[in-house]
Amino acid sequence: MPEIQPNLSSSVKLKYVKLGYQYLVNHILTFLLVPIMAAIAIQIVRLSPDEMLEIWNSLHFDVVQVLCSVFVAVFVATVYFMSKPRSIYLVDYACYKPPVTFRVPFSTFMEHSRLILKDNPKSVDFQMRILERSGLGEETCLPPAIHYIPPTPTMEEARGEAEVVIFSAINDLMVKTGLKPKDIDILIVNCSLFSPTPSLSAMVINKYKLRSNIKSFNLSGMGCSAGLISIDLARDLLQVHPNSNALVISTEIITPNYYKGSERAMLLPNCLFRMGGAAILLSNKRRDSGRAKYKLVHVVRTHKGADDKAYKCVYEQEDPQGKVGINLSKDLMVIAGEALKSNITTIGPLVLPASEQLLFLFTLIGRKIFNPKWKPYIPDFKQAIEHFCIHAGGRAVIDELQKSLQLSAEHVEASRMTLHRFGNTSSSSLWYEMGYIEAKGRMKKGDRVWQIAFGSGFKCNSAVWKCNRTIKTPTDGPWRDCIDRYPVHIPEIVKL
């Protein structure tokens, strides 16, 4: 029996129908205004000089009315420009790249697990199965304290990791931007699980001898989405403090948070989280618009903490033996999906073209009025966004978002490769992903980037950036010595 071939001609026709619909709806004003303007122009051309002079003479101008009209126009323009939000620019950013001596290959990780959990072989086997399916590579890094057997998660070691990660990122950023300590007006540091006294922001102020009137903030306990919360806070502060620079530091300190127990739900973070950090320079100065890489377009935050399951799906607690760790609930992906749905419902109208919004609206009305079983329309965010930076929280997170947003393999390539090369670096992972896109030479002027992050609480946060200029392939950064090897094939299971 001959094989039935798919009807390619009908699918191609449907594709062109959809493209025609999108073009028509997105340019509807142009299609309406151009004929009207053309008709007016034709009528004006047909008028003789005498008719035009007669029309001019028939207009009576009152000097008082003219002056009042000019005053109103100037007043309205002044109010508009005074109330218009200041543009926030991302001048540049830098990501921390751990030295090779911090590298933790699979063999090293599993050997340490067998020695540390020698009385609990089932927990060792569980960690091995997680690592095999994690999507991580052989070059991810852990801080020195975790390399010891047993690990030595002391306060001194944790401070040491914080200093290495944060100061290295800031130093790299200062070299790239020419930023001087006295130029920093606002400082925001986010680190979820390590919150010493004095704070990490105070540590930065002490190291770089920042000004005494600096506005400093230290965010903790806000999970992997805290990086975008810091961006949102910096944006709000830059709106009320003109001519200012904001330095944002996003990191997670691994040393004090290595779980040494045997509870499976609390062993997951050991397999996924790795060290990393990023320093970001934001500015509201007009003179920085030329050299800045990106302009902040939107920030949308969604918090599901009112729901008990969402609140406890990522929860720091003690196990029955009194050992502290992070418990990741089995419902995590379901809760993340609900949070994402709420977030894109808010951000969709802000970024989607009219064609996608109309299709979504018509489908919604159809389901409400005609048939509730109609398949809901998922907006095509690829019509509005060129690059997607999805928090590299794990393979399951990336898979779920790729499916939910109907993204191609190339759209999630930056997230998968970041997870493979650096692991889950918490709030800073978004910046490693943006660095990957730049290192591949894909970031062009006018491109829009959508950063999506999830965090405990439970939160889903989004930020949309617009590229100010075509970014040249950087010669520095965390990808400088390995970008030519990527993308790599990541098998479903890596047998250990």
Q: At what angle do helices 413-422 and 429-439 cross, to 10 degrees?
A: 110
| From 424, 460, 467, 468, active-site residue | 424
* 60/66 Cα distance (integer angstroms): 11
Q: Is the peptide bond before 85 cis (omega within 30 degrees of 0)?
A: no
Q: Which of 195, 253, 206, 250 is CA-nearest to residue 431?
A: 250
Say if CB 149 and CB 258 are below 8 A apart.
Answer: no
218 beta partners: 189
Q: Catalytic annotation on 391?
A: yes
Say if CB 433 and CB 389 are below 8 A apart.
Answer: yes
* 168/179 Cα distance (integer angstroms): 14
* 326/224 Cα distance (integer angstroms): 13
Q: Catalytic annotation on 241?
A: no
Place of tokens 């590229």: 467
> 29-49 in b/e burial notation, b at 16+ Cβ within 10 A?
eeeeeeeeeeeeeeeeeeeee
3-state secondary structure of 219: strand
Residues 6+ apart with CB under 8 A from 397: 333, 336, 390, 391, 454
Q: Which of 137, 252, 138, 142 is CA-nearest to residue 190?
A: 252
Q: Catalytic annotation on 411?
A: no
Q: Which of 425, 421, 424 is CA-nearest to residue 480?
A: 421
Q: Catalytic annotation on 387?
A: yes
Q: What are phi and psi of 258, to 5 degrees?
A: -80, 120
Residues 6+ apart with CB under 8 A from 8: none
* 478/425 Cα distance (integer angstroms): 13
| From 257, 270, 387, 460, active-site residue | 387
| From 257, 391, 411, 460, active-site residue | 391
Radius of gyration of the chain (CA): 27
Say if CB 86 and CB 238 are below 8 A apart.
Answer: yes
* 496/488 Cα distance (integer angstroms): 18
Q: Could you tell me the two tokens for 390?
A: 């999805």
Place of tokens 């009042």: 68
Active site residues: 224, 303, 387, 391, 420, 424
